[in-house]
Structure 1
């Protein structure tokens, strides 16, 4: 039974870095993800004056509840959405002038609802070019707190940023949320805040965060469930078996719910106390599934959908259009390049079966996948390449964003599933 060692969660590592930087004392983060996104987050903290010691398997962060150690800084957030959204929020709790910019890809991604909420809380925040996008400057003077209304229908990261800020304000926060996507990511945030000594209350659509700050701790980062989806999907489409240790019944990440989709399609799934196993059953069924809460795994399902016996329809994923790229259209375009029949709407994609038979025809070959610089497009279509010969990528290296060693790890698994 192949076991796959999945790197630490990007989402958890980013939250842990924020919490550690804000906590009173020295925090040790065990097995953090080392990728372009998380290294960029740590680099940004360093620019703000936080001290981080990085050993191969653990990072130590000297917390500063009072905020950044420097009065002025220029921070480059690279491609990282968590970096670009969380660090300006963290800086707002301090005192100084902090400028944030990002890659062209990240500059295109929206920030407006978070910026508006921070301004409603009295933060002096200015977008330098396009309103609601990077670059931006925060003239920080601490945050009093109070009540604020937030639309988190584009990204749950807006709500996470405000929740993380709450204990650093003088009065705490009451956040009324009008729309929310990817709700399980908010549950990750709340659970991690609890581990750092803060209990978030909830009254319907209102989140209540007390003041008082965080306490330092030692925190272990669990494997990344979104990354694990590619390896679970590989088992499902090849009839093989894959086990991921460290992701089990107590996992924080909602994206582990992707295995339930595979179960509905016919795969055998076992979720144990500290590991999850997926075994392919030789045939995948079509399915209609709402992926609003696990939308980062939408490309994974889209990439294996042509191998199902019936249509696969993925619904309520409008937010995937404002990720690293428009993932709905990127998946549709690449599937059509491979010969699949695909339709899309504002918040859905439907893929009809067909690649299974076509791929076995003599002379049928794959195509170059257009990645749009999006790590999830590349990793998802690597799974398609297990069944379709000739799949290649215009930018295979973009996986460094979350999993620099993906191609090596996936190649090793391929050798075990398809000797």
Structure 2
């Protein structure tokens, strides 16, 4: 089997985006260690710079000069590219300042919903106008600080709405009490709360009410952990090929709920060891079918869908309606691509069921979605001849993905065409 590959996974996208917001809001200079450098996070850092925050970048660290009083410029135009965190967090950050700020985004991001967040900001007295479709980018904010108080939020489409409001809380004059009526991807909110604690703020929680004190954030040095969603492709690769892989930097203390994907692999027959600061997955040659609810780890749904045909029985993934409003409708995209590979698939509003089979080579339709490419690359380890209509869209979260994956396959002696 050769030596056990250690895979160096780039930093977490969700942690890097939150860290940039918190660093910009904090009093003092924050150093982010090993942040993710990708299209999304570069877009976020560039957005901060457009608002007048100073962001200094070296290869391994980013330094941010915090401004508790808000953006340095009285007016700015910010282009959020394809990044949902950028498109949702930066307007919220700007609202706490004073000035006139306009935000726009790519066509793909313009289609993604914002309404629950912008409704909550308006309820808090923020002067916010959608310039085209209501509840979507582009939008303009005439910022005059945020008083705070009580607000009700529906986070059933995206936990990012709640994360944005939680992070805004300490920048308001009297703090926030947020009543949440529905919540998807709850572990991402736990990431936010843990990170706010690192920047000196304690969020209190009673049932569906979260209370955030005013008083601002303290700057700090913050190490960004590897991206657990990205790690899922490497863990899945080990499970599906009967090999072994270890990811350092992700272990028992990991913030990201998506590390829970390894529990799914364990249920399918893989051996999993979660250490203090590393996780190892060992394929056993056995991959069992199962039924699993993935609402809380829905970014890894395509990873499971792509290896499902290799299981010995049907794989049914439930409670993943929110995957329909990501970069693309991921549920339909997975179903369509599995059918292209000759695999039997059934879908409903919030579920997909995949029957065992032997995939035949085909071109994967990516819809410009990084996770569709990375997921089906895993299937490519067992099905030579899988190709992609847009392999380069991985730059959103992992510009070096194809090289890293090719290296892993080569180390295992598996012929892998990659992109």
TM-score bucket (shorter structure): over 0.9
Q: Which residue of 1 aligns with 2:388?
A: 393
Please list, as runs of the form range in 1=range in 2, the aligned pairs for 1:32-111 lying within 5 A after superposition: 32-111=35-114
- Assess if the C-alpha contact under 8 Å between 1:37 and 1:401 holds in 2: yes
The reply to whether residue 123 of structure 1 matches residue 126 of structure 2 is: yes
Aligned to 1:224: 227
- 1:416 corresponds in structure 2 to 411
2:299 aligned partner:
296
The CA distance in 2 between the partners of 1:131 and 1:342, in whole Å, is 36
Q: How does 1:9-408 map to 2 (within 5 A)?
A: 9-355=12-358, 359=359, 365-408=360-403
Superposed CA deviations along residues 271-322 of structure 1, whole A, max 9, x for unmatched, are: 0011000000102000100100000000000000000001101111100000
Structure 1 position 417, deviation (Å)? 2.3
CA deviations over 1:242-290 (Å, ceiling 9, x no partner): 0000000011000000000000000000000110000001020001001
The CA deviation string for residues 209-260 of structure 1, in whole angstroms up to 9 with x for no partner, is 0000000000000000000000000000000000000000011000000000
CA-based RMSD: 0.6
CA deviation vs aligned residue, 1:138-166 (integer Å, no higher than 9, x gap): 11000000000000000000000000000
Q: Using the alignment, how far apart are the partners of 1:407 and 1:223 within structure 2? A: 17
- Tell me the equivalent position of 1:362: none
Shift of 1:418: 3.3
Gaps of 5+ in 2: 415-419
TM-score under structure 1 length normalisation = 0.98
Aligned residue number for residue 417 of structure 2: none
Q: Distance in 2 between matches of 1:233 and 1:307?
A: 11
3-state SS of the aligned residue for 2:284? coil
Asked whether 1:4 is paired with 2:4, we answer no
> In 2, distance between residues paired with 1:305 and 1:131?
39
Relative to the length of structure 2, the TM-score reads 0.98
C-alpha separation in 2, matches of 1:64 and 1:206: 28
Give unpaired runs (5+ residues) of structure 1.
360-364
Counterparts of 1:118 and 1:37, CA distance in 2: 24
**How many residues are paired up?**
411
